[in-house]
Structure formats: C-alpha cells, structure tokens
C-alpha cells in the first residue's frame, strides 16, 4: 500500500514570461498557491507519512524567498523564464533535498497561478 499526504501554502509575486509572445510577457502578478504531495510505502511509528506541521514548515521555508518579489529578478531565474512549470520544478527539488529519505518521497508539486490554471512537477 502507498500513502500520500498533501499540504498547501501561498505567496504573492510578480513575473513576466521570457521568450513568449503574448500578454504574459508583460509584468503581472499572481497570488500563487503551492500544493505539495509526499508519499511513503509504510507509515512511521506514529502512523503518519510525515508530520503535517513539518511538511508545512518545509514548504513555507522553501517558498519564502519568492514572496513579494519580481521572480525575474531572482538569481534562480537568471537562465530560465519564471513560468509555473519552472517554479514547480524548483520547489520540488528544494523540498526533495530536505525531506526525501529511505521512507518518504516528495512526489509532486503543483503551482496554481489562478484558480483555473496550474502546472505540476512530478518526480
């Protein structure tokens, strides 16, 4: 059996897509919602995949650098357009480095730009 837990957090930031023709090449902002799923094949002694509070704290720490910024101005986007896809991948990598172990794995990160549009990075 496989178990999964999911938490969400959010931040506000602006961006402009590069190498893109259309209105989103202009500076604009979003209230980004980030959803993270962690899985395990077995539960810990407390019967959990991972403590929700630990996962929420790790997520909060991993997105703090993006809050109230222009994403294009951050070094992490110096070579890549700050698309939802790239953002999801970066957050997935950061969380995986902090949370993956022999029992748990960060499976996916979904970045919502709006209530209707999202991008997901899957391991």
| Confidence category of residue 40, pLDDT binned at 50, 70, 90 | very high
Q: C-alpha distances in angstroms, 101 versus 33, 50, 105?
A: 26, 11, 7
Residue ranges per structural domain of the chain = 3-122
Q: What is the DSSP string of 70-83?
A: BGGGSGGGSSS---
Task: Please work out, in degrees rounded to the nearest 5, the angle formed at the alpha carbon of residue 16 by the alpha carbons of 13 and 20.
Answer: 150
At the topology level, CATH places domain 3-122 in Tetrahydropterin Synthase; Chain A (3.30.479)
pTM for this prediction: 0.95
| pLDDT per position as a tens digit, 98-122 | 999 999 999 999 999 999 999 999 9
Rg of the chain, C-alpha, whole Å: 15
| pLDDT per position as a tens digit, 72-86 | 999 999 999 999 999
């Amino acid at each position: 059996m496989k178990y999964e837990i999911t938490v969400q957090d959010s931040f506000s930031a602006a961006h402009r897509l590069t190498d893109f023709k259309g209105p989103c090449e202009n500076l604009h902002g979003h209230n980004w919602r980030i959803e993270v799923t962690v899985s395990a094949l077995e539960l810990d002694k407390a019967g959990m995949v991972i403590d929700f509070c630990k996962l929420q704290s790790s997520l909060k720490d991993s997105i703090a650098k993006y809050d109230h910024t222009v994403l294009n101005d951050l070094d992490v986007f110096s070579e890549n357009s700050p698309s939802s896809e790239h953002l999801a991948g970066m957050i997935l990598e950061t969380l995986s480095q902090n949370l993956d172990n022999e029992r748990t794995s960060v499976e996916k990160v979904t970045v919502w730009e709006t209530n209707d549009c999202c991008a997901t990075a899957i391991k």
